[in-house]
Amino acid sequence: MEKTIKIKENVFYVGVNDPQRRLFDELIPLPDGTTYNAYIVKGSKKTALIDTADPPKSDVLLSNLKNAGVAKIDYIISHHGEQDHSGSIPVLLSLYPDSRVLTNDKCKAELIDMLCIDEDRVTVIKDGEEVSLGDKTLRFIFTPWVHWPETFITYLPEDKILFTCDFLGSHFAFDAGKGLFVENNEDIYLPAKRYYAEIMSPFRTVIRKNLGKIKDIEVDILAPSHGPLYRGKDFIESCYNDWSSDAVKNKLLLAYVSMHGSTGAIARYFIEALKKRGIEVAAFDLADADVGELAMELIESATAVIGSPTVLAGPHPKAVYAAYLVKALRPKTRYLSVIGSYSWGGKMVEQLVEMLGTVGAEIIEPVMVKGYPVQEDFSALDDLAEKIKLKHQNLGLL
C-alpha cells in the first residue's frame, strides 16, 4: 500500500510504485523500476482522477483512493490509451458508477478497442478546452506523439500544476511517502535521458513542437505519469530541448557482436583507431548490451557503426536487432557504417546497409574482413576511422 500524499491544497498523489519491474513492453529495460503516477484533484464541485495505473496494480490505486477519502469521482482524465495509465479505468468505472472518462476522440477509440469501455461513459474533450471542477479548472493541451497519436496533457492553472503523462517522465521508482519531488537534478538526469531515448526520441520533431506548447506556461509543479515530480519545469524542459535538438556530438556508437573473436578483434582495433583520432567511442558488445544505454548514446552520437560476423550468409541476429533499433529510434546520427567478418561469402553488409539506409544518414563505405584481421584489414579500419574523423571535422565537432 502506498501513502496518499498531498501535493497542493486538494491535490493528491495516489500513484503506485513498481520498483521490482524490470521490463516494459517486454523490451525496454527498467533498471530503476517505474511508477504509475495518478492524481486526485478535488474541486469545490467536482473531483477528477488524473490517469490510473497498470492493471496488475489496480488494487494499490484503489487502496490509495480509499485512503484519500475519495468517495466519488466525477471525471477520469485519460491522457493516453496505453494500459499502464488507462488499464485500471474499467474497474474504476465499475466502482465509481457516476464517473465519466474525459479524453480526446483518438484516445476514446483506443479505450474502446483495447479496454472494451462503454462509449456512453466517455466524454470527448477538445484541444484547449477547459473543464471546471468548481474552484479548480482543468485545461487540456493536445500533445500528439509523445509517444502515441492521442496523447495530451492537462494544466491546472489555479495551482500551476502541469500533468504531462508520459511526456517529460522517467522510469524511476520512488517511495512517495519519503518524497515526491526530484531533489537533485543529477539524480534523475540519466533515468530521464534513458526514458527519452527509449520512448520519445523517435518523435523528436513533434517533441520540439510540443515543447513550444508548454514554453510559456507558468509551472510550479510538473507532474508526469512516471517517476518523481519536478518543482518547476526548467530542468527537464532544458534537457528535452537539448536532446531533441539537431545537434550531435563528437561521438561514435559501436554496437558489435563476435562469434569466434574475429569481429571482436576488428572492433577493438577500430575503437583504438578512433580514439587516436580524438573521437569519443561508446562500444557495446551486443552479447549482453543494455539496449537502453545504446539508445542513450544514439541521442547524440554523430556516427553509429554496427559490427557483425556472417551467420548463415547474413548478419548475426543480434546485429540485425541493433540495426533494427537504430532504424526504429530514427536518430539524428549523421553517418553510419558497418564492420565485420566472413569466411566464405554472404550478404551480411548488404543486408545491414539496406536496413540502415532508411535512417537517412550517409553510409560510409563498410569494412569487411575475411577470417581474422591482418595488416591490410587494420589499414582499412584506419582508413574508415580517418574518414569519420574528417566527417566530424566538417561538422565542426573536432
| Residues found near ligand FEO in the complex (CB under 6 A) | 80, 82, 84-85, 147, 166, 225-226
Per-residue CA distances from 9 to 13, 97, 158, 177, 219 (Å)? 12, 26, 10, 17, 16
Residue 18 or 382 having the CB closest to ligand FEO: 18
Closest distance of CB 224 from ligand FEO, Å: 9
Q: Which is nearer to ligand FEO, 2 or 82 (CB)?
A: 82
Burial (CB count within 10 angstroms: exposed 0-12, middle 13-18, buried 19+), residue 272: middle
- In this structure, the strands spanning 221-224 and 230-231 are antiparallel
Closest to ligand FEO by CB, 21 or 85: 85
Looking at the Cβ atoms of 224 and 309, the one nearer to ligand FEO is: 224
**80 vs 391 by CB, closer to ligand FEO:** 80
Work out the burial of residue 59: count CB atoms within 10 Å of its CB; fewer than 13 is exposed, 13-18 middle, 19 or more buried: middle
Total Cβ atoms within 10 A of residue 343: 11
- The CB-nearest residue to ligand FEO is 82
Q: Which is nearer to ligand FEO, 145 or 269 (CB)?
A: 145
Residue 372 in contact with residue 265, Cβ under 8 Å? yes
Q: How far apart are CA 264 and CA 54, in angstroms?
A: 42
Q: Least Å distance between CB 167 and ligand FEO?
A: 10
Q: How far is the CB of 85 from ligand FEO (least distance, A)?
A: 6
Task: Answer positive or negative: Cα dihedral of 390, 395, 396, 398.
Answer: negative
What cell was used for 44?
469545490
Report in angstroms how near the CB of residue 84 gets to ligand FEO at its nearest.
4
- Residue 197 beta carbon to ligand FEO: minimum distance, rounded to whole angstroms: 15
Residue 26 vs 186, nearer CB to ligand FEO? 26
What three-state secondary structure class fits 284? strand
> Of 81 and 373, which has the nearer Cβ to ligand FEO?
81
Q: How many CB atoms lie within 10 A of CB 109?
A: 16
When the beta carbons of 85 and 332 are compared against ligand FEO, the nearer one is 85
Contacts of residue 161, defined as CB under 8 A and 6 or more positions apart, other chains included, come to: 7, 8, 11, 155, 219, 220, 221, 222, 223
d(CA 90, CA 101): 10
Distance CA 340, CA 188 (A): 37
CA-CA distance, 384 to 392, in Å (whole number)? 12
CB of 358 to ligand FEO, least distance (A): 24
Quickly list H helices, 259-358: 262-276, 291-298, 317-329, 348-357
